[in-house]
Amino acid sequence: MTITTPRLTLAAAFLGLSALTAGAQGFTPENPECIAPANPGGGWDFTCRQVGKELQDLGLLDKTVQVVNLAGGGGGVAYAEVVNKRNDDNDLIVAASSATATRLAQGAYPGNTMDQVRWLASVGADYGVIAVAADSEIETLPQMLDIMKNDPTAISVAGGSAVGGWDHLKVLIAANAYGIEDVRTVKYIAFDGGGEAVTQLLAGSVQAFTGDISEAKGFVDSGDIKVIAVLAPERLDGEFSKFPTAKEQGVDAVGANWRGFYAPGGMSDEAYDAWVDKIATLYASDEWKATMAANGMAPLDLQGAEFQAFVAASVQQIQDISKEIGIIK
């Protein structure tokens, strides 16, 4: 079973659309803040800190973006905080990803829907990876899946999303593609962020890690982990080209994690347009292109209404996937 992300079909239709909107230049946040809905070290944390830094470096903001880590519930704690307590905060943006869409698709944020916030823009996409500790005897994805097939209790996989979340889905998609009939037997352990999940892998508490290439990169560079599969249609460019895809190992599994931001639902149009414009200008910069290349991120250039439509399509597709593999009814 091949699982592709909506970006592969929708993004082409949206590329190149202007993000410059009337009134965007009239608002400047007094105390810009970005909530990362997980502990430090994971993809949401990376998104907030890197985008915040480069917005200031490029002169798009004249103040430092305060990054607040608000972990819990696979992003649900942060989502509820924004919806219930900070609905009209014009200075606030929140890091989001396919993991956010997954939890919304599965109804895992109790009482919350995607329409309660305003979706700002994407800043790229991260392909998923499956990795093991550097000293692990496991060398390939089929080798790991064979062990799982023969003894589901032998391999515990750590990820930075909640049970049923995007990190969990990625390993289930691979297991399903390999022919593991009941993917619910796969042992997945959820942590509050990819950094914590890798820490548990290095501690020997689990045998494998499922996450995104940007989360894994630092640990690969330090020699702590080895990537046994990238969930991309073909090998990535540059320094990431050494990592094999799942597909080339006979496991037809593809999964890209989009990265972007949402804002409070009650944010003013002027503030919303200004944030969309700032993120679009950042995305178009040579500096951000270099950041994407250094972190193995794929292009995904969507802003404003186009991004809103893309997230809606993501939520619908993930609902369909989740039903297909038994996560939800």
| Residue with the two structure tokens 């329409």 | 115
C-alpha separations of 181 from 6, 38, 166, 189, 260 in Å: 26, 32, 20, 20, 34
In this prediction, residue 25 carries a pLDDT of 57
Domains 7-126+257-324 and 127-249 share a fold: yes
Q: What is the CATH number of domain 7-126+257-324?
A: 3.40.190.150
In this prediction, residue 322 carries a pLDDT of 87
Position 148, amino acid: M
Q: 30: Cβ–Cβ under 8 A, 6 or more apart, which residues? A: 63, 91
Q: In the chain, where are the structural domains located?
A: 7-126+257-324, 127-249
Phi-psi region of 204 (alpha: psi -120 to 50; beta: other; left: phi over 0): left
Positions in the chain whose pLDDT score sits under 50 = 1-24
Helices 194-202, 213-221: crossing angle, 10 deg rounding = 40
In this prediction, residue 14 carries a pLDDT of 32
CA distance 145 to 141: 6
First vs last Cα of the chain: how many Å apart? Answer: 19
In this prediction, residue 325 carries a pLDDT of 80
The structure's pTM equals: 0.78
- Which fold does the domain 127-249 belong to in CATH? D-Maltodextrin-Binding Protein; domain 2 (3.40.190)
| Residue with the two structure tokens 């956010």 | 100
